[in-house]
Amino acid sequence: MTKTRVAVDVGGTFTDVCIMDEDTGQIRIEKTPSTPDDPMRAIMTGISDAGIDLADVTMFSHGTTVATNALITRKLPRAAMVCTEGFRDVVEIRRSNKEDLWDTYKDVAKPYIPRRDRLTVKERIDAAGKVITELDEAEARRVARILKKRDVKAIAVCFINSYVNGDHEVRMRDILRAEMPDVHISISSQIMPEIFEHERFSTTMVNAVVSPVVVDYVSRLGDKLAEGGYTRDLLLLHTGGGVMTPASVKDFAARLAGSGIAAGALASRFIGNLCGYENSIGFDMGGTSTDVSLCFQGNSTVTKDWYIEYGYPIRFPSIEVLTIGAGGGSLAWKDEGGSLRNGPQSAGAFPGPACYSNGNEVATNSDANVVLGRLGHSLAGGDITLDAGLAEKAIRETVAAPFDMELHEAAEAVIDVANANMANAVRLLSISRGHDPRDFALVAFGGAGALHGAAVAKELSIPVVIVPPNPGVTSAMGCLLVDIQHDFSDSFMADASQTVPEDLEAAFARIEKEAVDRLRHEDVAPENTVLQRTVEMMYQGQWRSLAVSAPATITSTEDLVRGFHDEHEREYNFRREDAPVSIFRVGVKATGVVQKAELPSFEVTPHAPDPASQRDVWFKGKSCRTDVYDRATMKAGAEFTGPAIVEQVDSTVVVPPGATAKIDQYMNILIRVKD
Amino acid sequence: MNMMPKQELDPVTFEVLKNSFITSVDQMAEQMLRTCYSFVIYNRDFSNGLHDAEGNCVAQGNSDIAVHVGTLHHTCKEVIRFFKGDMYPGDVYAINDPYAGGTHFSDVRLIRPIFDEEELIGFSQSNGHWSDLGGSVPGSFNVTAHEMFGEAVRITPIRLFHKGRFCADVANMIAANTRDPASIIGDIHSQAQATQVAERELQRLVGKYGRDQVTQGMDAVQDYVERAVRQRIRDLPDGTWEAVDYIDRDPGAGEGMIPIHIKMTIKGEEITYDFEGSHATIASIYNSAPGATFSAVVAGMKTFFPDLPLNSGFYRMVEVKAPANSVVSAQWPVAVTGFLMPFEKIMNAIFEMWSQIMPERAIACAFNLEYLLAGGNDLRKPDKPIYMFYEWLPGGWGGRNGKDGSDVTTACFGTGLMSQPSEGNERVNPTRADEFQIMQDSPGPGKWRGGAGVIKASTLLEAENTVMSYICDRERAVVWGVEGGLPSMPHGLMVEHVDTGEEEWLGSVFSNYKIKSGDKFTRPTAGGGGYGDPMERDPEHVLNDVIDEYVSVKRAELDYGVVIRVNDADMLDYEIDHAATEKARAHIRANRVGWARMDPEEVSQMYRKGKINEMDAVRKYAVILDWGTGELMPKSTAQFRESFEKRSVSHWS
pLDDT at B3: 40
How far, in Å, CA of B199 to CA of B190, rounded?
15
Contact B427 A195 (CB under 8 A): yes
List chain B residues with CB under 8 Å of A413.
10-12
Nearest-Cα distance to chain B for A97, in Å, is: 5
Contact in structure between B41 and B186 (CB atoms under 8 Å)? no
The answer to whether A133 faces chain B, any CB pair under 8 Å, is no
**Degrees, nearest 5: CA angle B251-B254-B260:** 70
Q: Which amino acid belongs to residue B286? A: Y
Kindly report the nearest CA distance between residue A423 and chain B, in angstroms: 10
**8 Å CB contact of B183 and A541:** yes
CB contact under 8 A, B4 and A541: no
The Cα-based distances of A186 to A211, A422, B535 in angstroms read 9, 39, 43
Question: Does the pLDDT of residue A363 top 50, yes or no?
Answer: yes
Q: Are A17 and A5 in contact (CB under 8 A)?
A: no
A93 touches chain B (CB under 8 A): yes
Residue from the list B12, B227, B437 with its beta carbon closest to the beta carbon of A413: B12
- Please report the residues numbered 16 through 75 in chain A whose beta carbons come closer than 8 angstroms to any beta carbon of chain B: none
Chains A & B: contacts with CB separation below 8 Å? 220
Contacts with A101 from chain B: Cβ below 8 Å = 62-64, 66, 415-416
B45 touches chain A (CB under 8 A): no
Residue A145 has pLDDT above 90, yes or no: yes
Taking CA atoms, what residue in A is nearest to B434? A86
How far off is chain B from A522, nearest CA to CA, in Å? 35
Chain B CB contacts of A197 under 8 Å are 421-423
Chain B contact present for A427, CB below 8 A: yes
Is the confidence at residue A151, as pLDDT, over 90?
yes
Q: Is there a contact between A453 and A444 (Cβ–Cβ < 8 Å)?
A: yes
pLDDT of residue A381: 62
* Bridge partners for B271 per DSSP: B266, B318
pLDDT at A12 over 80: no
- Give the integer Cα–Cα distance in Å for A652 and B131: 55
- Contact: A197, B421; criterion CB under 8 Å: yes
Question: What is the per-residue pLDDT for B94?
Answer: 98
DSSP type of residue A441: E
User: Is beta strand A57-63 parallel, antiparallel or unpaired with respect to A234-237?
Assistant: parallel
Give the pLDDT of residue A150.
Answer: 97
For residue B5, the model assigns a pLDDT of 43
pLDDT score of A68 more than 90: no
**Residue B640's pLDDT is what?**
98
Q: pLDDT tens-digit profile of A280-317? A: 999 999 877 889 999 998 888 888 889 989 999 999 98
Using the Cβ of B269 and the Cβ atoms of chain A, whether some distance falls under 8 Å is answered with no
CB contact under 8 A, A576 and B570: no
Q: How confident is the model at residue A382 (pLDDT cuts 50, 70, 90)?
A: low
B189 and A198: CB-CB below 8 Å?
no
Of A90, A416, A543, the CB nearest to B42: A543
Q: Do B37 and A336 touch (CB under 8 A)?
A: no
Contact between B438 and A160 using a beta-carbon 8 Å cutoff: no
Given a cut of 70, whether residue A380 has pLDDT beyond it is no
Average pLDDT of the segment spanning A476-503: 88
Give residue A675's pLDDT.
62
The residue-averaged pLDDT of A318-331 equals 88
Mutate to test the interface with B, among A542, A565, A675 (most CBs of B within 10 A): A542
pTM over 0.80: yes
The nearest alpha carbon in chain A to B63 belongs to: A101
Cα distances from A665 to residues A148, A570, A634, in angstroms, run: 61, 35, 12
Q: How confident is the model at residue A237 (pLDDT cuts 50, 70, 90)?
A: very high
**Is B228 part of the contact surface with chain A (CB cutoff 8 Å)?**
yes
Give the nearest partner residue to B423 out of A161, A339, A417, using CB atoms.
A161
B305 contact residues in A (CB cutoff 8 A): 102
Do B306 and A103 count as a contact with CB atoms less than 8 A apart?
A: yes
Cα separation, A550 vs A534, in Å, equals 5
Question: Of B19, B408, B423, which is closest to A93 when you measure between CB atoms?
Answer: B408
Q: How far apart are CA B305 and CA A103, in angstroms?
A: 8
pLDDT in tens, A588-601: 999 998 877 677 88
pLDDT of A563:
92
Shortest CA gap A98–chain B (Å)? 6
Asked if A537 and A548 count as a contact pair (C-beta separation under 8 A), the reply is yes
3-state secondary structure (DSSP) of residue B69? coil
B3: chain A residues, CB-CB within 8 Å: 336, 338
Q: Which residue of A has its CA nearest to B192?
A: A574
Q: How far is CA A409 from CA A61, A331, A417, A619, in A?
A: 47, 17, 12, 10
Q: Above 90 in pLDDT, residue A121?
A: yes
Q: Does A339 touch chain B (CB under 8 A)?
A: yes
The per-residue pLDDT for B2 is 37
Q: Tell me what pLDDT residue B140 has.
A: 86
CA atoms within 13 A on the CB side of B535: 17
Reported ipTM: the value is: 0.94
Q: Is B495 in CB contact (< 8 Å) with chain A?
A: no
User: B405 to chain A: which residues are within 8 Å by CB?
Assistant: none
**Average pLDDT of span A561-570:** 90
Model confidence band, residue A435 (pLDDT cutoffs 50, 70, 90): confident
Q: Distance of alpha carbon A242 from its chain centroid, rounded? A: 11
Task: State which residues of chain B have pLDDT below 50.
Answer: 1-7
Q: Do B37 and A541 touch (CB under 8 A)?
A: yes
Distance CA B183, CA B168 (A): 14
Q: How many CA atoms lie within 13 A of A52 on its CB side?
A: 33
User: Which 70-109 residues of chain B touch chain A by CB within 8 A?
Assistant: none
Contact criterion met (CB < 8 Å) for A126 and B62: no
Q: Which of B15, B42, B403 is closest, CB to CB, to A417?
A: B15
- Out of A105, A114, A539, the one facing B361 most closely (by C-beta) is A105
**DSSP state for residue B642 in the 8-state scheme:** H
User: What distance in Å separates residue B609's CA from the closest CA in chain A?
Assistant: 30
C-alpha closest to that of B113 among B62, B150, B157: B157
pLDDT of residue A16: 84
Q: Does the beta carbon of A148 lie under 8 angstroms from any beta carbon of chain B?
A: no
Selected residues 551-580 of chain A with any CB under 8 Å from a CB in chain B: 568, 571-574, 576, 579
In percent, the amount of chain A with pLDDT more than 90 equals 62
The verdict on a CB contact (< 8 Å) between A97 and B225 is no
Percent of chain A at pLDDT exceeding 70: 98
Report how far residue A200's alpha carbon sits from residue A156's, in angstroms, rounded to the nearest whole number. Answer: 11
Q: Are A450 and A444 in contact (CB under 8 A)?
A: yes
Please give the Cα distance from A572 to A557 (Å, whole number).
Answer: 22
Angle at A442 between CA A437 and CA A443, to 5 degrees: 155
